[in-house]
Structure 1
Amino acid sequence: MRFPLKFTIAQARHRAKMERLGRKRYPTVLMLEPLYTCNLACLGCSTERYTGKLADRLPPEKCFEAVDACGAPIVNICGGEPCLYPELKELLEGLFARDKHVIFCTNALKLEEKLFGVVPPTHRLLLMIHLDGMRETHDYVTNRAGVFDKAIDAIKKAKKLGYHVYLNTTVFRETKIEEVEQLCRLVDELGANGILVSPGYEYQSVKNDIFLNREQTHEKFRAIRAFAKKYKINATPKFLDFAAGFIELPCAPWSTVNYTPKGWKAPCYLIEGEGYFQDFDTFWNTVDWNYWESRQDTRCVNCKMHSGSEHSAVEEAMKTLSGKLQLAAWSLGVGV
């Protein structure tokens, strides 16, 4: 399967519950950023995500309040680098106790020191390790030599210890499709569980012109879509169709709500400059979701990020029997 069975069941149950309640919009994933502190300053990252002071981190109880308020079954712990969070063990154990599944996004530099032997493997924990290319490319993107090799070592050890491990690759303007396929093959070579491939978001605070416009995204993802069935790519067929420009989809920013050291970020994990809310209800009822769904904002023109579009891709697939069958086959790991 693409994901652990209980992870997939938790998502399906949540969706069914929201449908029974008649909810058109609902969070499926909480993008939880407990800190804006990082040990890297990658080229494609928003500057706020690596310039924060550790003293400004969220205490675990604030994280738990956010988790309980939004009700999503999946918590994506990002940041910043979550391995630097001093209360990491308390945070993870508290999430598991709340029946949550956790995607742990990390550059892997501190995994062995901060996670291995501290939090044992569980079906509730998915390690998502960033690799934005093979050795030369990834070390360039991360601005530090040796990061690729450190990540590979961490992946090998994580798999040996029994963790669920996924790769996360961002596609930039200069990304070579051949290298993306190399990473897909690397997943199999390392015995990892899959790879998420997504176009990078054009953060306003990033000065380097490294991002894709819509046409470039379509070109690259048509090539990726062509070989995707051979590999364990963890993006649904409809999302890949959308990224390739074969179909259009509305955005669903409300499906992946973002809680940060500054509060609830409006409208999503990506957009800068729209402000923060201190309580969930005000955030949920104040943001103009109709506007952001429409992708009419200039900051949304080139965005085809997985975080805003995957929910819409699943919704599109569920409209037809063929789409449902395709999604079911994909979930079981059978082609795209």
Structure 2
Amino acid sequence: MRYPIGFMMAQARHRAKMEKAGITRYPTVLMLEPLYTCNLACIGCSVERHTGKLKDRLSVETCLKAVDDCGAPIVNLCGGEPTLYPELKELIEGLFARDKYVILCTNALKLDTKVFGVIPPDPRLFIMIHLDGLRETHDYVCNRAGVFDKAVEMMKRAAELGYYVYINTTVYKETSVEEVEALCKLVDELKAQGILVSPGYEYESVERDIFLTREQIHEKFRQIRSFAGKYKVCATPIFLEFAAGLRELPCSPWSTVNYTPMGWKSPCYLIGERYIPDWETFWNTTNWEYWESRLDPRCQNCKMHSGFEHSAVTEAMKTLKGKLQLAAWSLK
């Protein structure tokens, strides 16, 4: 199967519960950033995500309140670098106690000291390792030599220890399609569970010209789509069609909400027009209809997985053909 059965059933139950209640907008994933501290300063990363101080991190209690407030079944621990969060074990245990699935999104540099032997493997814990290309490209994007080799070493160790392991690849100008396919093959070689591939988002605070234009996204993802079916690519078929410019989708910014050391980031994980301390104000005052429309200039080149995968699944569920295609993809 593309994902463990429990993970897929948790999402399906959540969607069914919302639909039964007549709710059309609801979070499916919480992007939880307990800290902005990071041990890398990747060239494609928004500046605040690698300049934060450890003393400004969120408490476990505050993190868990955000989890309870939004109600999403999946929590993506990101940042910053979550393995630097001193209370990581306590936080993950609190998430498991709430029956949440946890995606630990990491550069892998500290997995051997902060996770292995500290937080045991669990079917609800997925380790998502950031690899944006092969050695030369990834180390360039991370702005440090040796990061690729360390990440691959940690992937091997994680798989041997029994963790669920995934690769997260953001495609930049420097990322060749051949490298993306090589990473897909690496998933199989290392006996990992899959690879998530998404175009990079053009953060305003990033000075280097590393991001793809809309046309470049389409060109690269048409090639990626041509071989995606041979590998454990986690993006759904309709999302890949969207990334390849073969169909349009509205954004679902409310499906992947973001809680940070500065509060709830509005409107989405990528654009921070404002930061709001409490959930009710964030949820009820954000103009979701406007951001769904993608009329804002900052949305024009965005085809990030976080904003559109929910829309892709919703589109698939509208027809019998779409449902069968999604089911076949999930079971493959």
Q: CA deviation at 1:287?
A: 0.3
Matched with 2:156 is 156
C-alpha distance in structure 2 between counterparts of 1:127 and 1:219, whole Å: 30
Matched with 2:200 is 200
Q: What are the residue-to-residue correspondences of 1:73-84 with 2, within 5 Å?
A: 73-84=73-84
State the AA in 2 paired with 1:302: N
Matched with 2:291 is 292
Matched with 1:231 is 231
Does residue 296 of structure 2 align to residue 302 of structure 1? no
C-alpha distance in structure 2 between counterparts of 1:67 and 1:76, whole Å: 11
State the AA in 1 paired with 2:263: G
C-alpha distance in structure 2 between counterparts of 1:66 and 1:4, whole Å: 25
Alpha-carbon RMSD across the aligned residues, in angstroms, is 0.5
C-alpha distance in structure 2 between counterparts of 1:81 and 1:332, whole Å: 32
Matched with 1:319 is 318
Q: Deviations over 1:61-104 (max 9, x none)?
A: 00000000000000000000000000000000000000000011
Q: Secondary structure in 2 aligned to 1:25?
A: coil
State the AA in 1 paired with 2:105: C
Q: Deviations over 1:252-293 (max 9, x none)?
A: 000000000000000011013x11111101100000000000
Q: Deviations over 1:215-260 (max 9, x none)?
A: 1100000000000100000000000000000000000000000000
Q: Secondary structure in 2 aligned to 1:76?
A: strand
Could you tell me the percent identity over the aligned residues?
75
Matched with 1:249 is 249
Q: CA deviation at 1:174?
A: 2.5
Matched with 1:85 is 85
Q: What are the residue-to-residue correspondences of 1:267-282 with 2, within 5 Å?
A: 267-272=267-272, 274-282=273-281
C-alpha distance in structure 1 between counterparts of 2:319 and 2:102, whole Å: 30
C-alpha distance in structure 1 between counterparts of 2:137 and 2:288, whole Å: 37
Matched with 1:331 is 330
Q: Deviations over 1:127-174 (max 9, x none)?
A: 000000111111111111111110011000000000000000010123
Matched with 2:217 is 217
State the AA in 1 paired with 2:3: F
Q: Secondary structure in 2 aligned to 1:230?
A: coil
C-alpha distance in structure 2 between counterparts of 1:33 and 1:72, whole Å: 15
Q: TM-score, normalised by structure 2?
A: 0.99
C-alpha distance in structure 2 between counterparts of 1:211 and 1:269, whole Å: 17
Matched with 2:119 is 119
C-alpha distance in structure 2 between counterparts of 1:3 and 1:82, whole Å: 23
C-alpha distance in structure 2 between counterparts of 1:330 and 1:220, whole Å: 21
C-alpha distance in structure 1 between counterparts of 2:135 and 2:173, whole Å: 18
C-alpha distance in structure 2 between counterparts of 1:122 and 1:134, whole Å: 29
- Unmatched 5+ stretches in structure 1: none
C-alpha distance in structure 2 between counterparts of 1:32 and 1:174, whole Å: 28
Q: Deviations over 1:8-35 (max 9, x none)?
A: 1000000000000000100000000000
Q: Secondary structure in 2 aligned to 1:266?
A: strand
C-alpha distance in structure 2 between counterparts of 1:92 and 1:174, whole Å: 35
Q: TM-score, normalised by structure 1?
A: 0.98
Q: Secondary structure in 2 aligned to 1:31?
A: strand
Q: Secondary structure in 2 aligned to 1:67?
A: helix
Q: CA deviation at 1:3?
A: 1.1
C-alpha distance in structure 1 between counterparts of 2:8 and 2:102, whole Å: 12
Q: CA deviation at 1:183?
A: 0.6
C-alpha distance in structure 1 between counterparts of 2:120 and 2:41, whole Å: 29
Matched with 1:186 is 186
State the AA in 1 paired with 2:19: E
C-alpha distance in structure 1 between counterparts of 2:176 and 2:99, whole Å: 40
Question: Which moved further from structure 2: 202-211 or 170-179?
Answer: 170-179
Q: CA deviation at 1:213?
A: 1.2
Matched with 1:26 is 26
C-alpha distance in structure 1 between counterparts of 2:297 and 2:329, whole Å: 33
Which stretches of structure 1, 4 residues or longer, exceed 3 Å deviation after superposition? Answer: none
Q: CA deviation at 1:175?
A: 1.6
Matched with 1:98 is 98
C-alpha distance in structure 1 between counterparts of 2:115 and 2:84, whole Å: 10
C-alpha distance in structure 2 between counterparts of 1:174 and 1:246, whole Å: 23
Q: Deviations over 1:178-200 (max 9, x none)?
A: 11111111111111100000000
Decide whether the 8 Å contact of 2:137 with 2:174 is kept in 1: no
Q: CA deviation at 1:332?
A: 0.9
State the AA in 2 paired with 1:185: K
